[in-house]
Structure 1
Amino acid sequence: MGTDHIRRLRSALLALTVAGGLLLTGCSGAGGDHSGASKGANRYGDGATGPLPAPAQPSGTGQGEQNGERKGEENRDIAPSPDYLSTFALDVDTASYGYARRTLADGRMPDPSTVRPEEFVNSFRQDYERPDGNGFSVTVDGARTDEDGWSLVRVGLATRAAEDDRERPPAALTFVIDVSGSMDEPGRLDLAKDSLDVMTDRLRDDDSVALVTFSDEAELVLPMTRLGDHRGRVHDAIDGLESRSSTNLGAGVSTGYDIAVEGLRKGATNRVVLISDALANTGDTDADSILERISGARREHGITLFGVGVGSDYGDALMERLADKGDGHTTYVSTKDDARKVFCEQLPQNIDLTARDAKAQVAFDPETVREFRLIGYDNRTVADEDFRNDRVDGGEVGPGHTVTALYAVRTRPGASGHLATASVRWLDPDTRAPHERSGQLETGALGDDLWTAPARFQVDAVAAYFADALRHGDHRWTALPDRSSLTRLADRADELADSTEDKAVRELADAVERAARVEG
């Protein structure tokens, strides 16, 4: 088969792939497993793992020649087009970054298993254009990082701006509060009580609140109560919370969902808010059975979970799994400022929804892309063929949120033209009707140098490289011109903190500097 024929065949296959990525609503796939978020999509193409952005051995999805070699000489010329798709469920969690900051402040490096790069990146404000209604805007940009063809590509998704609190639907919130002995440590139960008191004063009269506590067993402290003239009753219940003995998290979650179901309000946002260090040590400590209880309430009643982690010792993995199974998200708080921001300033984001089962799929052009790597989202991958299967779970996203995915992308020598198409698919939170939106990136739109890119892009890069260093510690960062250490990364973050005058970026710079000192 001639070279021109092969090139035309590849172009035709690419056209079909990209066309599929641009199809709009109504293309739900048949069949599928409801646990699709746990399926292995092609993050690296061959299932390889490793530090950002690429190991010495090729590990991206540029495997067309490899497929041909495995199939034998006779099939090499007609090998199927390689998989240049990357598919994942959206995630707005930020707990991993908050817990890493807390751990570093205590003079320790975080356990690498608790470090999730996407949660570092999604902890920072973005300047993406926002849509007018429900759903997402799509922004795709990038910048070159070195002379070996590597670039950092960013896919940015944004929901509409958070509305005035008076415009959101009423909320029915069931707070499940850990009052075990470990919550007696400063910065745990005291922090939760302070935050809940402030939040109670800021909720609307038509909002409802219930309180469930758990230690060795669960207890209903306050049934679902419409605030109206009952704020004093809610404050009294909060003020009476005291730490006790062991942590029966399973009983707390189960009772909390029972109360949420009993107090279910049509037309309201029904949510369970779990506040805990997630260190289950008595009763039902089996994650799967606890998760199944959450899953059932989510499927039957649409009740979502918001997990708020506290404490220097924190069950990060369990809290994340609970939130994922409960169609919710997690955050971590260690100071009064953190807690008040979560419960008060971000309240509309945390209790309202603009998109359900949201997934993203990025189609890279094999004519221009040699290999790529998705940074993070390790446990949010979705099988490529399930992108339009609306029975497969995605992520739930509220107003005012942004979701950022970073890719390390290696282009082919001298390549020019189309580089990638990014699509996002979601279900309307009320009608469950599917929608999609896409954005594209050309090689000519790549910035010449990462460190002259817009400041928000650079902040995302620093956050991702910081997470990568905490996970791997070997500093194989081709995006840093001198492949330097955490100290150099701290310098970059410090410069960005000065130029942006952003408190969150200053906290990032401080965290990187602490990590450099701890690493020593």
Structure 2
Amino acid sequence: MRKFQLTGVLVLGVMIASCATPYQDSSSGQEKSPGDLAEGSAPPPPPGASAETITVTASRMADHAQSAPSVIAQSRHETYIPPVRVAVDPGREQYDGEEISPVKLTSTEPVSTFSVDVDTGAYANTRRFLSQGMTPPKDAVRTEEMINYFRYDYDRPTDRETPFTVNTDVAKTPWNENTYLMRIGLRGYDIDTAERPAANLVFLMDVSGSMNRPDKLPLVKTALSGLAGELSEKDRVSIVVYAGAAGLVLEPTNDTGKIRRALDELSAGGSTAGGAGLQLAYNIAADNFIEGGVNRVILATDGDFNVGLSDRDALVEMIEEKRDSGITLTTLGFGTGNYNEAMMEQIANHGNGNYAYIDSALEAKKVLGDEMNSTLFTIAKDVKIQVEFNPAVISQYRLVGYENRILREEDFDNDAVDAGDIGAGHQVTAIYEVVPAGKRGWIAPRRYEEQRSGEALRRLTEAAHIKLRYKLPDGETSRLINRVVMGSAFTQAGKPTGDFAFAISVAAFGQLLRGDDLMNGFDHEDIGALAGSQDNYWRQEFLQLNALAAAMRSGG
């Protein structure tokens, strides 16, 4: 691994705390809880790890990881684990990336259809690679998960009859003077913890020998211990483990002490009977099924299924069957070296759950604490987006990301076709890059190209028709939302600013890491300038990751 110097900020601290844990507001001196945070703001950084005070050079990361003690220090309010950074050759890690979305001619393919995606694992995994001084494999980068890692200033739903708002905006493309970027943003309604229905959760933990690393089982314990602290009296947690065989180690309970003691006693060893573990976890979830509640298996593993039901098609078939019975699946990925991300991401998709990668206890707190309601409580299922571009206004387009979420046009109106779910407070962002008619596009004009239809010309004021289909959590028939983006949105569009500019900078970051050859020389320095200064903890961290990627690309 090449060592390089980078003066600046890279936050490596990790901390997990209960959402109910108060923290001191430095501006007011008053105690606040994470629930008091303003929209789009960040939770407090780890103890002593603010973006203004910590500077770590990449050449010191390995030394820092090796010298960090493995003892978990506990206090009344929090559990703190020193940074875990294990530099491992990623050659045995498994990814299943798709080719970058191709350009489409509106005259021949005016309709784009895809399933929503609320996963964020690709961003955290990319952060892990960059923090270790390595460029992530291109197949590990899914741009939509990079974008959706962050929150944006979308309008909140005014009522729950329609579970999410649909927001659109347009700006000129920073890397191409002939194109524009059109953003579609969804925002689900929020629920209070008291409103959340009872949860029947089965922690399914990989305790095989491959998990015997500081960045694996110890971090899993910390993550699930933090989630246990969020339980209410109506919730129940069971713990199933698997290694050479699978077994139930904790009967359903909401006793946080019992859960944490059971977690503390676990150790790693043996082979990986992941399929048997999943089967047992689903059986336990079914035995304790709560009608009208949340019934979910939470799988924590490095994804290394090598004994038993390891065939991906067989796993998917089982997971889809259980999904249809009302038991969903969340996957939490851990570790390096033999990490099977392809398995983790895909089985979560088929299980109507979500996939996250946990590279630190702070990320565990974000996923299983701050975002717990989003993770557990579904407000809309089988959410699909379809965009029809008017060829008289838009000549070419491409969807940024969502390569493994593409649906056929006929899938949109077919309620039997599964799609992504949206949880309480979830946000989903999609960005299209489009070429207005008359502008130079990526594809040269065709000699025998069809003339624009009369209907397209009659609707010349319309640039795009956006349709969304979704089902309510207990529904089987989809509902439809229509939005029209007017052509004037493009003629009046200026350079991206503020919140939209940051979203575009993250999209560009993902596309650069993917090797997108349509970025026209737009580089990491341009990304930093576009993102601008940020006062949000997670966004500040993004700026530092971008600086790391720039230094690595330049060989500095």
TM-score normalised to the size of structure 2?
0.74
Aligned to 1:372: 397
The question of whether the paired residues in 2 share the 8 Å contact of 1:248 and 1:280 is answered with yes
Q: Deviations over 1:255-277 (max 9, x none)?
A: 11111111111121101101111
Instruction: Decide whether the 8 Å contact of 1:137 with 1:437 is kept in 2.
Output: no
CA distance in 2, matches of 1:431, 1:287: 29
Say whether the 8 Å CA contact 2:120–2:149 is kept in structure 1.
yes
* Partner residue of 2:262 out of 226, 229, 237: 237
2-structure distance, mates of 1:179, 1:253: 13
Aligned AA for 1:151?
Y
Q: Cα RMSD (Å) of the superposition?
A: 2.0
Tell me which residue corresponds to 1:77: none
1:137 corresponding residue in structure 2: 165
Matched, 1:60 2:104: yes
Contact 2:100–2:403 under 8 Å retained in 1: no
Counterpart of 1:158 (choices 187, 210, 216) is 187
Q: How do residues 501-520 of structure 1 correspond to structure 2 at under 5 angstroms?
A: 501-519=535-553, 520=555
1:58-103 per-position Cα deviation (integer Å, ceiling 9, x unaligned): x3223x4xxxxxxxxxxxxxxxxx3311111111011011101101
Letter in 2 for 1:477: M
Give the structure 2 partner of residue 113 of structure 1.
Answer: 139
Instruction: State the shift of 1:367 in Å.
Output: 1.0
Deviations 1:289-346 (A, max 9, x none): 11111111112x1111111111123211100111011111101111111101211111
The answer as to whether partners of 1:486 and 1:516 remain within 8 angstroms in 2 is: yes
The residue aligned with 1:469 is 512
Which of 257, 277, 281 lines up with 1:256 in the alignment?
281
1:486 and 2:524 matched: yes
**Contact preservation (8 Å) 1:309, 1:331:** yes
Query: Equivalents in 2 of 1:291, 1:223: separation in Å?
Result: 26
Equivalent residues of 1:140, 1:440 under 8 A apart: no
Larger RCO (CA within 8 A; separation ≥ 6): 1
Which secondary structure does the structure 2 equivalent of 1:270 belong to?
strand
Q: Give 1:279's aligned residue.
A: 304
Match of 1:188 in 2: 216
TM-superposed CA distance for 1:399, in Å, is 0.7
Identity %: 34
- Partner of residue 481 from structure 2, selected from 420, 431, 437: 437
Distance 1:50 1:307 in 2: 24
Partner of 1:35: none
Measured after TM superposition, the shift of residue 382 of structure 1 is 1.2
Which AA in structure 1 matches 2:511? D
Shift of 1:278: 0.6
Contact 2:118 2:427 in 1 (8 A): yes
Distance 1:438 1:189 in 2: 46
The amino acid across from 2:298 in the alignment is: V
Task: Check the 8 A contact 1:138/1:422 in 2, yes or no.
Answer: no
Matching residue within 192, 208, 211 for 2:236: 208
Instruction: Tell me how far apart the structure 2 counterparts of residues 50 and 392 of structure 1 sit (CA, whole Å).
Output: 23
Q: 1:136·1:437 contact (CA, 8 Å) conserved in 2?
A: no
Cα contact 2:204–2:240 (8 A) shared by 1: yes
**1:99-124 deviation digits (Å, cap 9, x = unpaired):** 01101111111111111111011111
One-letter amino acid matched to 1:438:
N
Aligned AA for 1:464? Answer: A
Separation (CA, whole Å) in 2 of partners of 1:492 and 1:142: 16
Helix, strand or coil at the partner of 2:378: coil
Structure 1 residues 115-158: Cα deviation after superposition (integer angstroms, max 9, x where no partner): 11110111111111122215221111111126753001101111
CA distance in 1, matches of 2:272, 2:416: 34
The Cα shift of 1:419 comes to 1.1
CA offset at residue 517 of structure 1?
Answer: 2.0
> What letter is aligned with 2:504?
A
- In structure 1, C-alpha distance between the alignment counterparts of 2:134 and 2:345, rounded to whole Å: 21
| Contact 2:415 2:476 (C-alpha < 8 Å) held by counterparts | no
Separation in structure 1 between the aligned mates of residue 125 and residue 492 of structure 2, nearest angstrom: 34
One-letter amino acid of the counterpart of residue 465, structure 1: A
Equivalence for 1:310 = 334
Q: Which residue of 2 aligns with 1:426?
A: 470
In 1: Cα distance, 2:100 partner to 2:341 partner: 22
TM-score between the two structures when normalised by the length of structure 1:
0.79
Verify: 1:224 aligned to 2:252, yes or no: yes
Shift in Å, 1:254: 1.6
Pick the structure with more helix per residue.
1
Q: 1:453 aligns with which of 490, 496, 504?
A: 496
Distance 1:438 1:473 in 2: 31
Counterpart-to-counterpart distance in 2, 1:508 and 1:231:
34
Q: C-alpha displacement at 1:473, in angstroms?
A: 5.9
Shift of residue 357 of structure 1? 0.9
CA-CA distance at 1:50 after TM superposition: 6.7
Partner amino acid, structure 1, of 2:543? A
What does the per-residue CA deviation read over 1:454-486, in whole Å, with 9 as the maximum and x for residues that have no partner?
Answer: 322112111111111111165x315xxxx3322
Which of 336, 350, 354 is the aligned partner of 1:325?
A: 350
| Paired residue secondary structure (1:413) | coil
Secondary structure class of the residue paired with 2:525: helix
| Cα contact 2:127–2:545 (8 A) shared by 1 | yes
Aligned letter for 1:256?
Answer: A
Question: Secondary structure of the equivalent of 1:379?
Answer: helix
Gaps of 5+ in 1: 1-48, 65-81
* Residue 272 of structure 2, aligned match among 237, 247, 252: 247
C-alpha change, 1:284 and 1:432, in structure 2 (3 Å) is closer
Q: Greater shift after overlay, 134-143 or 164-173? A: 134-143
Residue in 1 that maps onto 2:207: 179
Instruction: Please say if residues 415 and 477 of structure 2, whose CA atoms lie closer than 8 Å, have aligned partners that are also in contact.
Output: no
Which residue of structure 2 lines up, in the alignment, with residue 14 of structure 1? none
2:278 aligned counterpart, secondary structure = helix
Deviation at 1:283, TM superposition (A): 2.7
Match of 1:169 among 187, 197, 204: 197
Q: CA deviation at 1:233?
A: 2.1
Per-residue deviation at 1:505?
Answer: 1.3
Deviations 1:187-238 (A, max 9, x none): 221122122222222210100111111112211111233x2xx333222211
* Equivalent position of 1:297 in the other structure: 322
